[in-house]
Amino acid sequence: MKKNVIVGQSGGPTAVINASLYGVVYEALNREDSFGTVYGMINGIEGFLQDKIMDMKPLDASGELELIKTTPGSYLGSCRYKLPEDLNDAVYPLLFRKFSDYQIGYFFYIGGNDSMDTVSKLSRYAEQIHSDIRFIGIPKTIDNDLVLTDHTPGFGSAAKYVASTVREIVTDASVYDNKKSVTIVEIMGRHAGWLTAASALARRYKGDNPLLIYLPETSFSQDEFLKQAEQALKTTPNLVVCISEGIHTADGTFICEFASDVSVDTFGHKMLTGSGKYLENLVKEKLGVKVRSIELNVCQRCSSAMLSATDLKEAIASGAYGVKSALDGETGKMIAFKRIAETPYTITYIPEDVNVICNQEKAVPSEWITKDGCDVTDAFIRYATPLVQGEVTIPKENGIPKFAYRR
């Protein structure tokens, strides 16, 4: 008897998380000889616990599945549900009874670090009870901080958005040259500065804005920042500075904590915002120049207007490869990207042990950050440039992007 497939999405969305969903569903539906029904979890594992699932096959017949490819957000809905550390918790036998009720043989979860933690726990519990269900993680995160993979789906499109938007900001900031000004752009990135580093792709020539880039991989000194900004203003009167939301002092205090108290999410992560505003007020007080701060916020992860064709293609391929890997007998794995060549840019897909990947974070290498801590090197530029290549035509309706909606 053919076993059924179930797929879910978890954590913060990206512009291509639905492309990965498409990859899983399309590949599974086209292997009818191997699979039964292909289900989607509504709101991830949390929704599954409430029996919130849907049959994905009608989406293919209606054409909605094709539309999903270029729809941002999480089509199936998301969650931030953390499974207990103790595998003896009652939730595990409950989940596996539900898997049995729905005759699930293959479980795919699309997400970042915390989602890989879910895959790890479920696969370890399955091994403990001798279940033959196969659990596969499909990577997703604009933060690009998963280990054992060259990069993650979602990062390329977010990097393209950041670089394009920062270039627009730089162009706007340069129209007046009679007075000095500072524009501070706050970009997502708690502990890893990959996305903020991508702002360097906005430069048109050596010495162009953004002149200063600060990542959370290095300690941030307010005094050094003011000195570097003051020095930069001597040659660049309309200075643009890009910072990660997670920049922090040497003792680990987030800069945004100087502005206000921060709350935490269900995984214990601090909710970071306000670093740019704090530095805006600092520059205004200490340097006495015109200054503004801009927080790119959620647009970094949800913009379909600047999709990277490379990112979209790889997101679909990673989902499809996950299905192939499960059929080959893999379980407890995440589909990782391995870069084969720079010119022409070439990658391959490999299953990596999700138990090694989860609960770790991949930082920007120290050698890709300049010694003064306020810029990135050419090595990062060479790494990131291929990931933002290619344009994607988004279906339109009355001049506005046409997205798939779950009804």
18 assigned ligand-binding residue: no
**Catalytic center residues:** 143
The DSSP H or E segment spanning 310 is helix 309-327
Q: Cα–Cα distance between 81 and 30 in angstroms, integer?
A: 31
Q: Are 37 and 335 in contact (CB under 8 A)?
A: no
Q: Are 41 and 56 in contact (CB under 8 A)?
A: no
Residue 85 annotated as lining a ligand binding site:
no
Closest by Cα among 75, 66, 57 to 15: 75
Q: Is 188 known as a binding-site position?
A: yes
Contact yes or no for 26/61 (Cβ under 8 A): no
Q: Cα–Cα–Cα angle for 85, 86, 90, nearest 5°?
A: 115
E strands, 228-345, in order: 238-244, 290-295, 333-341
* φ, ψ dihedrals at 240, nearest 5°: -115, 130
Helix axes 113-128, 91-101, angle to 10 degrees: 80
Structure tokens belonging to residue 252? 């680990």
Check whether 12 is labelled as a binding-site residue.
yes
Do 255 and 244 contact (CB within 8 A), yes or no?
no
Tell whether omega for the bond before 72 is within 30 degrees of 0, i.e. cis: no
Of all residues in the chain, what percent are helix, strand and coil, respectively (each to 5)? 40, 20, 45
Q: How far apart are CA 267 and CA 323, in angstroms?
A: 28
Q: Is residue 297 annotated as involved in ligand binding? A: no
Asked if residue 288 belongs to a known ligand binding site, the reply is: no
Beta strands in 191-300 (DSSP E): 212-214, 238-244, 290-295
Binding site members for Mg(2+): 113
Binding site members: 12, 113, 141-143, 188-190, 245
